[in-house]
Structure 1
Amino acid sequence: MDPTAPLLFGLTVAEFEDLSLKLCVGGLIAYMIFIIGQLAWESKAGKYGAIWMFVGLGVGFIGFIAKALIQKLLGIE
């Protein structure tokens, strides 16, 4: 199969994979933020407790977002 041939909605395989990765991981990050907010709300953590919950539990996806920003700034993408 030719990798430059349109696959779906006029996108190539590489374009489809890139778009799918950004949308799916972005959706998972949004859902994880919702879950962390629910944990903070149900545990009555308060303002500073909620901040630390978001910092502590959100470090994993901060790297993913930082990688995308660094790629845009350096023009690597």
Structure 2
Amino acid sequence: MFGYSEEQIAAFGLSFGVGGFMLYMLFIIGHLAWESKAGKFGTFVIFLGLAFGMTGFVAKYLIQWAIGIK
């Protein structure tokens, strides 16, 4: 499709597509904290609890980059 292989399209979608969704999820979590008037500690707890799963995805990407594998 458009000169790209399926592997290239999947790699692009995984890198930028999921990354974009993660940024949108952070926006939603921040809006939730703002609407609930959570305060500084409450906002920290909300981000820690709801955004902790994203760190595994980011860590996987950074480890692959550091090792040099695709």
TM-score (norm. length: structure 1): 0.83
From the CA coordinates, give the structure whose radius of gyration is larger: 1
Identity of aligned residues (%): 49
Choose between structure 1 and 2: higher helix proportion: 2
Q: Which runs of 4+ in 1 moved over 4 A?
A: none
The count of residues paired between Structure 1 and Structure 2 equals: 70
User: Which residue type is aligned with residue 69 of structure 1?
Assistant: L
Gap runs ≥5 in structure 2: none
Greater RCO, 1 or 2 (C-alpha within 8 Å, sep 6+): 2
Task: List alignment gaps of at least 5 residues for structure 1.
Answer: 1-6
1:4 maps to what in 2?
Answer: none
Residue 42 (structure 1) aligned with residue 27 (structure 2): no
Which residue in the other structure is 1:15 paired with?
A: 8
Q: CA deviation at 1:68?
A: 0.0
